[in-house]
Amino acid sequence: MKKIIINENQRGFLFKNGKYVKMLTAGKYFTFGGKNIEVSELDQAVMSKICALDIILNDKAVANAVSVIEVADEELALHFVNGKFNSVLRHGKHAFWSVVDKHEYKIVDISSPEVAGDVPEYIFSKIPAFYYTKVEVLEYQKARLYFDQKLIRILDAGTYYFWKNGVRIDVGFIDTRLTQMDITGQEILTRDKVSLRINFVCNYRVTDYVRILTEIDDFAEQLHVAAQLALREYVGKYKLDEILENKDQMSEFIFSKLKAKEKELFVEITDAGVKDIILPGEIREIMNTVLVAEKRAQANVITRREEVASTRSLLNTAKLMDENKTLYKLKELEYVERICENVGNINLNGNGDLLTQLTGILRDNKS
């Protein structure tokens, strides 16, 4: 004989010789002979290791004390206990004790990967990840959604969930921001056979997120090649000096060529321009020499111009003093004043006043 106690938060199933007999409520029971009692917790699903669930549910006492839900294939049931989400139930029959708790269910069709709008999003943070696929599209992105490699639609920025039901889900992301393409170190011969290395930059954004994938193989490479060809076409027409003098014209030419390719490449070219023109070493040395010579010639011209202006000013001053004796005397006094500013002591000997002697000294120094 074996004593078994069933608590208030439990129920028991009585079996005799392996056959279900009835449900037992809280209390003390003794088993002997071929009897056996299986205890079930009220906060757990109703199940038995000895017999099938349907056999237990045939007992009216059990049927009145449980909540039953049957989930078909390609369905899920969202299980709520007392208004709070509890778990996800897969296909099959499920039973839960409703003696204390209230059980509610929401049947979800998963025959399509699309999640119905009435399924609350917070559910996905509470269920295992093997039930769904999560897709996050950033603010600066668009996403192409494919089911079994068939395009379904374009996804805008946001978070999306899709049921895993055997359908293959793929997502292709496209950056919608302004994108920069750099073309560096392009070696091109000018009309006069000078090899230049040119760095070029182009800014663009994608305009058709579907056709750019389905109708073009590697659009970025094709845009790159179009810019290279435009560069070669322009540089090959002109000599080195013409190219260096008309750098802006080269940028405008290439920009117009790329704009003509917008529709077939499904992009918008916003701007394009030449960043650097790199000359060969020997050409650079020659041009530096020419530049130094030009600057020296300009400096010589400026020096001569200043010398002529200074001489002309002295000549005009001399003419004025020759014509005006008073101006001449004032100029003498100016020089006397300058001498006095820079001399500490002056000793004078002989006849005549101080001003006359100083003027005489000044005249002697001039001669």
Kindly compute the dihedral angle of the four CA atoms of residues 313, 319, 323, 328, in this order, to the nearest 10 degrees. Answer: 60
Domain ranges of the chain: 2-109, 180-279, 334-367
Q: Residue 105: what are its φ and ψ, rounded to 5°? A: -135, 145
Residue 204: left if φ>0, alpha if ψ -120 to 50, beta else—which one? Answer: beta
Residue type, 135: V
Quote the pTM value: 0.68
| Distance, CA of 359 to CA of 164 (rounded, Å) | 115
For the chain, percent of residues with pLDDT exceeding 70: 87
Assess whether pLDDT exceeds 80 at residue 363. no
Tens of pLDDT along 42-51?
999 999 999 9
The CA-to-CA distance between both ends of the chain, in Å, stands at 152
Tens of pLDDT along 68-80?
999 999 999 999 9
For the 180-279 domain, the top CATH level (class) is alpha beta
Residues in the chain: 367
Pairing of strands 141-147, 150-155: antiparallel
Residue 324 has a pLDDT of: 73
